[in-house]
Chains A and B, each alone.
Chain A
Amino acid sequence: MPTLVYVEDHEGEPVKGSLGVLGKAADLGDDIAAVLLGSGVEPLAESVGAHGAKRVFIADDSALAAPLPQPRVDVLAKLVESEGFDTVLFGASVLAADIAAGLAARLDAGLNWDLVDLELRDGKLVGKRPELGDSVVAEVGWTSEPRLALIRSGTFEPSESGSSPEIVRVDVRLEDFSTKAVMVEQAHEESQGPSIEDADVIVAGGRGLGQAENFSLVEGLAKALGGAVAATRAVVDAGWYPYATQVGQTGKTVSPKLYIACGISGAIQHKVGMQGSGTIVAINKDPNAPIFEYSDLAVVGDVHEIVPKLTDLVQARRGS
């Protein structure tokens, strides 16, 4: 099963989601390659090898500097065809989803998305995709090769298992239409502290905080725990907190070791973004809040009273 994993990069680092997918691929087979597509990405190859890629294909070209999908589709399509990869895996992101779908059309290849697991069953690759608000899991497959898959972000933890990879440089030849969309201004991280996708601890705030100013409670607890701050769509829409911190269907999918939800009712749109978390603690004064149905520790009480006390206790503990 010659498998290619697309490794996305951001600010000079491979993104965690891609490395997690790479680790999963290395668990499933031996013939695992990764591809880096960007400008100045060559130094990332060692780290990508350490995470499970035996070969790392590198297309290092200024035309690939901006995180836009179509030039990447061009390079990937040629690479998949010339090297005969039968499986191409992506960790889901805004960029990766557009690349994967473009590649599916270009190669007439099947794409399964939002997968939370992959396994080999009698030599056949089977993906698992939660459906109907994650109440059921569909087992999905492909009827031809190459098989393309987008893995839900935060599904697999990266693990360092490999060694120094073989480096293969790839030519960059782009289609005319692929270079017409141009990046005028690239986003810079707006949030401070650790990014929520990489954080081991997340403290999230929702409408139950009452007002934007009360996010300082959430920030205080996050700081005490060495974690990141996240927000629900409702409070992002209300302008209380930046979009970059939004968890849920239209935001990020996160899977920290600990997720503390403060004043969050837990609508399905939020649930799909955080239910992969290790331990979920929810604090809400409504004893019937949906979030309690999928919390490990359900705390019925007022966030305004509990969170500051909790922050003090955690600080005292960690300080000692």
Chain B
Amino acid sequence: MKIAVCVKEVPDASAPKRLDPQTLRLDRSVAGALNEFDTHAIEAGLQLRDEGDEGEVVAVLMGPERAADSLRKALAIGADRAVHVSDEALAGSDLVATSKALAKAIERESADLVLFGQQAGDSDGAVLWAAVADRLRLPVISQAASLEAADGKVKVKRQTEYGYDVIEAPVPCVVAVSDAINEPRYPSLKGIMGAKKKPQDMLSLSDLGLSADEAGETGSRTEVYGLSDPPSRGDSQRIEDDGGSAAEKIVEYLSSHKLI
């Protein structure tokens, strides 16, 4: 089974996040790291690959050149090959533009299964897979809490607000996995050493058959006007449970605010 896993580089969680005052978008010049949610998708891909006799896991990333470090991490964890979509014209791409470029890159792979993590750790975006699937004209299932593949189809347990659904789709298809699906493995020393030797392709916009105006800000359909402060919650009260009086005080508070 050939599996493409879409991964993203996000600002390192340990670095303070800030917005670029010029673009009003997230400042991505700080140290980057592989999006943690995507490691669950890599793990799911590796498990499916290792169940079968033959298979391949290809990590696909769109991002600036320095995001190659995150792709290398995906290879160190166990992906067999990497595809890096990188072009200056892609900077500032929104969902419409990103899904277009990514779909073109994935199309070249003719994978049986395309996997995503459940969200981007930086923008909290949790929608890309459905846009990519529509462009690829493939079935999509999101929020996969478990994923099995057999007999040319996948069977997914989807987490929703109401509990668990079971959904089946024939391959090729797109599945976004939740972080409850597995415990991702860490890269081994051998994996880290071997990552550099694994094949890595670089693709530009022209390699994908896209023009610069289909990417980046010109290819996007959304914009950011400005920033404002979040509404304040107002004054808050604090009470200590001295001598067991807290419960009475809570009832007084709720009653004076007409909540009981």
Query: Which A residues fall within an 8 A CB radius of B?
Result: 10, 67-70, 73, 93-95, 97-106, 108-114, 126, 128, 130-132, 134-144, 150, 175, 177-178, 180-190, 195, 197, 201, 225, 237, 242-244, 249-250, 252, 257-258, 279-281, 283, 292, 294-302, 305-306, 309-310, 312-314, 317-318
Q: How far is the CA of A245 from the CA of B249 in the complex (A)?
A: 28
Q: In the complex, what residue of chain B is closest to A191 when comparing beta carbons?
A: B163
Q: How far is the CA of A294 from the CA of B125 in the complex (A)?
A: 24
Q: A residues within 8 A CB of B155?
A: 184
Q: Which of A98, A137, A195 contacts B227 (CB 8 A)?
A: A137
- Known contacts A102-B134, A187-B162, A296-B237; A143/B220 CB under 8 A: yes
Q: B residues within 8 A CB of A280?
A: 233
B125 near A185: Cβ-Cβ < 8 Å: no
- Say how far B219's CB is from chain A's closest CB, in angstroms: 9
Query: Which B residues fall within an 8 A CB radius of A?
Result: 17-19, 24, 26, 94-96, 99-100, 118-119, 123-135, 137-143, 155, 158-170, 173, 178-180, 220-230, 233-234, 236-241, 244, 246-251, 253-255, 257, 259-260
Q: A residues within 8 A CB of B241?
A: 299-302, 305-306
Q: Classify the secondary structure of B's interface with A.
A: mixed
- Known contacts A184-B168, A243-B159; A279/B259 CB under 8 A: yes
- Known contacts A144-B221, A184-B168; A113/B125 CB under 8 A: yes
**A-B pairs with the 9 shortest C-beta distances?**
A301-B241, A110-B221, A187-B163, A309-B247, A101-B127, A101-B130, A105-B131, A185-B166, A105-B134
- Known contacts A105-B131, A298-B237, A313-B247; A139/B260 CB under 8 A: no
Q: In the complex, what residue of chain A is closest to B247 when comparing beta carbons?
A: A309
Q: A residues within 8 A CB of B229?
A: 136-137
Q: Which of A110, A189, A317 contacts B222 (CB 8 A)?
A: A110
Q: How far is the CA of A70 from the CA of B56 in the complex (A)?
A: 28
Q: Which of A201, A244, A306 contacts B247 (CB 8 A)?
A: A306
Q: B residues within 8 A CB of A310?
A: 247, 250-251
Pick 21 A–B contacts, CB within 8 A, sort by A: A98-B127, A105-B130, A108-B96, A110-B95, A111-B127, A113-B125, A131-B26, A131-B123, A138-B226, A140-B223, A140-B224, A141-B225, A143-B221, A177-B139, A178-B139, A187-B164, A243-B159, A258-B254, A299-B241, A300-B239, A318-B260
A298 near B130: Cβ-Cβ < 8 Å: no
- Say how far B137's CB is from chain A's closest CB, in angstroms: 5
- Say how far A306's CB is from chain B's closest CB, in angstroms: 5
A182 near B167: Cβ-Cβ < 8 Å: yes
- Say how far B82's CB is from chain A's closest CB, in angstroms: 25
- Say how far B104's CB is from chain A's closest CB, in angstroms: 13
A281 near B250: Cβ-Cβ < 8 Å: yes
- Say how far A233's CB is from chain B's closest CB, in angstroms: 10
Could you list 20 further interchain pairs (A-B, Cβ under 8 angstroms) beyond the known A126-B225, A141-B225?
A70-B134, A94-B142, A94-B158, A104-B95, A130-B230, A131-B123, A139-B227, A141-B223, A180-B170, A180-B173, A184-B166, A187-B164, A189-B163, A197-B161, A294-B233, A296-B237, A297-B250, A299-B239, A299-B250, A306-B241
- Say how far B229's CB is from chain A's closest CB, in angstroms: 7
- Say how far B173's CB is from chain A's closest CB, in angstroms: 7
Q: How far is the CA of A296 from the CA of B259 in the complex (A)?
A: 13
- Known contacts A113-B127, A187-B165, A294-B233; A105/B99 CB under 8 A: yes
B127 near A298: Cβ-Cβ < 8 Å: no
Q: How far is the CA of A280 from the CA of B94 in the complex (A)?
A: 35
Q: A residues within 8 A CB of B26?
A: 131
Q: B residues within 8 A CB of A318?
A: 260
Q: How far is the CA of A237 from the CA of B178 in the complex (A)?
A: 13
- Say how far B8's CB is from chain A's closest CB, in angstroms: 15
- Say how far B211's CB is from chain A's closest CB, in angstroms: 14
